[in-house]
Structures are given as structure tokens and as C-alpha cells.
């Protein structure tokens, strides 16, 4: 059996949870040895066997980003002849899977990592391209032989956004974590990494790791941080903003904090994994204030590093973080317009602040929950098990 995995992100170009998922899933599927796994990814050629890179088409150099994406999709689809099944990830590669499926007459499986109708703020980033990406996703999802949701919460969202999809065609296979690569680092070397980055590993700290995008909820966390005790460090590993608007909002809130308290550490670049591990392993708590999160692989990474988690009780997060056991879940009432905006922003910020304060007030309890989080990540979210479940989906589709 030959399976072509289609993705925008693939090493060395991985910048989000979907890219991590594809990288680890491919390893797990190839390790099984019972299928020919070919990877077709956006970007420059790769040296990895069985992996092909597809750069942007020069003819579309000045086009809207969504049209550039479709140009790459067409190039990928043209190479899918001979596959038994196509498996695409995110809207960027969904049209490659859809067109390749039509051309080759083979089934197309989609892994849903996020949904365009639930990310309307992308119109700020893509302009009219957001209408194109939404059309791509809807077309591909409704035609797919199977859709894999990364959580039960995501499955419910898929059926709500696309009611024409047969519920029997939507399966759940959670995201996973490589607990051998993501493991706690409490060594002297790990503590030195923290110090080099401006963080005191022996002091109390709350860490955020994620992109500067609306869905990650960082502005709410920065407002809530005003209520933290003065000795608690706030460590923000926040990559480049999606838009100038969200970047300016976050920069302004950080400036306000830095003018009123010490210990606000901003790390704008994407850190290598060992440095992220060192920061998370030595943090009192990891914060995930997302207002939209299909699963939240960042929470699994933090849990694997023995960090307790304070997170929003939204999307698939409650399927990962167990309130009172591996962290603190903060309830949220959200506007039902697709934005995920809190119904009462002041109350949500106050509740988030209260949870963070409770977490740092008792470092020993945070430590206990962090150890429980590591145990849960190892036992429930291994990539080998997720590879097995994904292969079961493939076989089910091909048989039926």
C-alpha cells in the first residue's frame, strides 16, 4: 500500500502543531514497515528519502497567498498518480488531496487540525484569500472519504461547520507526543539555558509558548498577568505575529507590563527544542489561554516536561488537561460567531488571573500536577499508538 502524505509543513519547515503532527505521524507510520509512505510538502527539495518538496510557482510570485497555495497544490496533485490513498493536512494541502483523488481515482483522507469558519480573524491576514481558503476547505471536506479529527471537540466542530458531512465519515485520532524527545530537563545545564535566556530557574515562573495569533489568546493572558505577585516571572516565547494589528496589540500590552513590574521575559524567535524543554521543565506552570484550540499539542509538550498546565476549557483541551489532576482548566463562555471571543472579557481575564495565581501560590501542588501530566502524556498519547489508529483508518477506507 502506498500512502501519500500531503502537507504545507514538514522538516525543516515546521512552525506549528500541524507540522509537528505530520513529522511525528510520518515517523510512526514508516516505523511500522507495512506501507510505502511518501511525503509531498511545500517548500524546497528535501534530502529525506521518500520526501518531495514543492516550491512556490514563480509565475505566482506576486499573487495573493491563497493563490500561491493553490499553485503548489496543483503541482503536488500531478505527482499523486500511483498512490492507493492520499492524506492531507490543513487547508493548504487539502486541495492537492482533492484534485489528486479525482485524478487518480483513489480515496482522500483529511486530518483536521483547525477549521477556517472558526478562524475568521484570518481575513486580516489573507484578505480575499480567506474566502478562497474557506472554499478550499469546504470543498475538500465534503468530498473526502474520511475526516480525522484530532479531538472529540474538533469532531463536533466539524459537524457543526459542515453539516452535509456524514457523521460516520468523521473519526477521532488524537494528537500525540514523543515523550523520549520531550522529557524533563532539571539538570544544571538546563538551568543554565534558562539563565542565558534571562529566566531564574529557581524562581516562580509562568511560561507561554505559541504564535502571536488571535486564537492563542495571548492578549488576555497579558491583561491577567497584571494580577500576578511581583516576584512571578512571565516568560513569553511568542513567535512572529500573524498580522501587524495583533503584533501591535501584544507589543503594547507587554510594554505596559514591563513598565510596572520586573521579570517579563520576551523571546520572539523560535527556540530550538532543547531550550524550550529547559524553560518548560523549570517553570512553575505552563499557560495556554487559547480561545480556539482543536487539541493543543503545546499542552502535551509541556506535560511531557512535567509542567502543570493552566488552560482554557475549550475545544479539545479538556481531553488533554485534566482539571485538578494535571493542571487547572478555566471555564469560558464564548460568542457563537466563530471568533471564540469571550462573552464577558473582564470576567474571563479575572478567572484566568485567579487560576494562574492559584498555580503559582503552591509550587508543590503544581509540581504534583506536573508529574501527573507527564504520566498521562506517556500513557495516553504515544505516537506509535496514534500511528496504529491512523493505519486502521486507512484500512477501513480502502476496504469500504
Q: What's 106's domain CATH number?
A: 3.40.50.2000
Domain match, 200 and 163 both: no
pLDDT of residue 26: 97
Domain match, 170 and 56 both: yes
pLDDT of residue 315: 87
Q: Distance between CA atoms of 117 and 134, rounded to whole angstroms?
A: 7
Q: With respect to residue 181, please indicate whether it lies within any of the assigned structural domains.
A: no
Q: Which of the 8 DSSP states describes residue 322?
A: -
Q: Are 182 and 210 within 8 A, CB to CB?
A: no
pLDDT of residue 358: 98
Q: In what helix (H) or strand (E) does residue 5 lie, and over which residues does it extend?
A: strand 2-7
Q: Distance between CA atoms of 26 and 383, rounded to whole angstroms?
A: 10
Domain match, 198 and 332 both: yes
Q: With left for phi above 0 and alpha for psi between -120 and 50, is residue 4 left, alpha or beta?
A: beta
Domain match, 150 and 263 both: no
Q: With respect to residue 108, please indicate whether it lies within any of the assigned structural domains.
A: yes
Domain match, 139 and 277 both: no
At which residue does the C-alpha cell 529547559 appear? 278
CB proximity list for 213: less than 8 A, separation 6 or greater:
121, 241, 242, 246
Domain match, 132 and 271 both: no
Q: Are 317 and 296 within 8 A, CB to CB?
A: yes
pLDDT of residue 171: 96
Q: Distance between CA atoms of 274 and 282, rounded to whole angstroms?
A: 12
Classified as helix, coil or strand, 338 is: coil
How many structural domains is the chain composed of?
2
At which residue does the C-alpha cell 527556540 appear? 271
Q: Are 217 and 289 within 8 A, CB to CB?
A: yes
Domain match, 250 and 231 both: yes
CB proximity list for 377: less than 8 A, separation 6 or greater:
177, 179, 182, 300, 303, 304
Q: With respect to residue 133, please indicate whether it lies within any of the assigned structural domains.
A: yes
Domain match, 159 and 292 both: no
pLDDT of residue 66: 93
Q: With respect to residue 182, please indicate whether it lies within any of the assigned structural domains.
A: no
pLDDT of residue 223: 96
Extract the C-alpha cell encoding 309: 498546565
Domain match, 214 and 155 both: no
Classified as helix, coil or strand, 341 is: coil
Q: Domain limits at 107?
A: 2-176+382-399
What is the residue-level pLDDT of the chain in tens, covering all 400 positions?
Answer: 999 999 999 999 988 888 989 999 999 999 999 999 999 999 999 999 999 999 999 999 999 999 999 999 999 999 999 999 999 999 999 999 999 999 999 999 999 998 999 887 777 777 899 999 999 999 999 999 999 999 898 999 999 999 999 999 999 998 888 999 999 999 999 999 999 999 999 999 999 999 888 889 999 999 999 999 999 999 999 988 888 888 899 999 999 999 999 999 999 888 999 999 999 999 999 999 999 888 788 999 999 999 999 999 998 899 999 999 999 999 999 888 777 889 999 999 999 999 999 999 999 999 999 999 999 999 889 898 899 999 999 999 999 8
Domain match, 264 and 115 both: no
pLDDT of residue 253: 93
Q: With respect to residue 183, please indicate whether it lies within any of the assigned structural domains.
A: no
Domain match, 111 and 213 both: no
Rounded to 10 deg, the angle between the 297-304 and 273-281 helix axes is: 70
Domain match, 198 and 131 both: no
Q: With respect to residue 270, please indicate whether it lies within any of the assigned structural domains.
A: yes
Amino acid at each position: 500500500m502506498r500512502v501519500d502524505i500531503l502537507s504545507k509543513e514538514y522538516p525543516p519547515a515546521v512552525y506549528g502543531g500541524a507540522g509537528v503532527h505530520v513529522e511525528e505521524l510520518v515517523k510512526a507510520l514508516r516505523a511500522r514497515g507495512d506501507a510505502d509512505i511518501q511525503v509531498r510538502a511545500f517548500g524546497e527539495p528535501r534530502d529525506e528519502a521518500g520526501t518531495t518538496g514543492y516550491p512556490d510557482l514563480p509565475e505566482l510570485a506576486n499573487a495573493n497567498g491563497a493563490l500561491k497555495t493553490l499553485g503548489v497544490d496543483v503541482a503536488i496533485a500531478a505527482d499523486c498518480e500511483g498512490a492507493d490513498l492520499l492524506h492531507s493536512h490543513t487547508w493548504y494541502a487539502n486541495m492537492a488531496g482533492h484534485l489528486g483523488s479525482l485524478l487518480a481515482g483513489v480515496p482522500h483522507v483529511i486530518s483536521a487540525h483547525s477549521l477556517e469558519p472558526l478562524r475568521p480573524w484570518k481575513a486580516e491576514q489573507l484578505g480575499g484569500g480567506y474566502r478562497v481558503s474557506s472554499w478550499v476547505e469546504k470543498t475538500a471536506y465534503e468530498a473526502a472519504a474520511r475526516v480525522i479529527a484530532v479531538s472529540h471537540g474538533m469532531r463536533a466542530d466539524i459537524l457543526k461547520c459542515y453539516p452535509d458531512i456524514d457523521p460516520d465519515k468523521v473519526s477521532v485520532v488524537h494528537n500525540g507526543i514523543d515523550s523520549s524527545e520531550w522529557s524533563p530537563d532539571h539538570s544544571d545545564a538546563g538551568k543554565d539555558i534558562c539563565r542565558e535566556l534571562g529566566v531564574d530557574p529557581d524562581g516562580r515562573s509562568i511560561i507561554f509558548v505559541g504564535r502571536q495569533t488571535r486564537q492563542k489568546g495571548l492578549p488576555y493572558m497579558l491583561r491577567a498577568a497584571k494580577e500576578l505577585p511581583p516576584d512571578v516571572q512571565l516568560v513569553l516565547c511568542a513567535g512572529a505575529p500573524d498580522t501587524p494589528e495583533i503584533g501591535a496589540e501584544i507589543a503594547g500590552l507587554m510594554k505596559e507590563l514591563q513598565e510596572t513590574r520586573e521579570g517579563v521575559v520576551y523571546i520572539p524567535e523560535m527556540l530550538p527544542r532543547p531550550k524550550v524543554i529547559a524553560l518548560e521543565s523549570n517553570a512553575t506552570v505552563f499557560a495556554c489561554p487559547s480561545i480556539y484550540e482543536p487539541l493543543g499539542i503545546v499542552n502535551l509538550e509541556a506535560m511531557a516536561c512535567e509542567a502543570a498546565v493552566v488552560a482554557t476549557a475549550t475545544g479539545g483541551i479538556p481531553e488533554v488537561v485534566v482539571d485538578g489532576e494535571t493542571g487547572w482548566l478555566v471555564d469560558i463562555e464564548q460568542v457563537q460567531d466563530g471568533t471564540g471571543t469571550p462573552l464577558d472579557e473582564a470576567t474571563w481575564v479575572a478567572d484566568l488571573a485567579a487560576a494562574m495565581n492559584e498555580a503559582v501560590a503552591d509550587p508543590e501542588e503544581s509540581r504534583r500536577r506536573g508529574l501527573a501530566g507527564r504520566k498521562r502524556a506517556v500513557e495516553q498519547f504515544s505516537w506509535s499508538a496514534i500511528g496504529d489508529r491512523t493505519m486502521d483508518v486507512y484500512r477501513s477506507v480502502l476496504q469500504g
